[in-house]
Amino acid sequence: QVQLVESGGGLVHPGGSLRLSCVASQDALDAYRVAWFRQAPGKEREAVSCINRDGLKTHYGDAVSGRFTSARDNAANTVYLQMNNLGPGDTAVYYCAAVRRPDATTCSLVAALYRHWGQGTQVTVSS
């Protein structure tokens, strides 16, 4: 089954940008829907974005819409999350998640639909 590893997190000042990567192994990522979720201390997990198999359809959570962009490079088995204009409210552990759906043309922000999860990468926004 696919394994996911996130990277790219770190400390950034308010207004800054980061790009997260989610690299898949053990299977070809082009058969998978992929999504990003985040969880801050003491808060529930929150949907950030999802991207369909060919990368032509994306959806975003209300808190990040207009600031974050998800993209994928199936040849590199990688999904990206570009995060711009970051604020303290974006501080969280970010997780990528995938579910194998070779028949699906869309994606979903519902966490329960995703079967495979990475270990997460910490993003801290602070001055």
Say what the pLDDT of residue 85 is: 98
Say what the pLDDT of residue 29 is: 92
Q: What's the rounded Cα separation, in Å, for the pair 58 and 60?
A: 7
Q: What is the pLDDT of residues 74-120, one digit of tens each?
A: 999 999 999 999 999 999 999 999 999 888 889 999 999 999 999 99
Q: What's the rounded Cα separation, in Å, for the pair 98 and 11?
A: 26
- In this structure, is the dihedral angle defined by the CA atoms of residues 40, 64, 22 and 13, taken in order, positive or negative? negative
Q: Is the pLDDT of residue 37 over 90?
A: yes
Is residue 32 a contact partner of residue 101, using CB atoms and an 8 Å limit?
A: yes
Say what the pLDDT of residue 104 is: 83
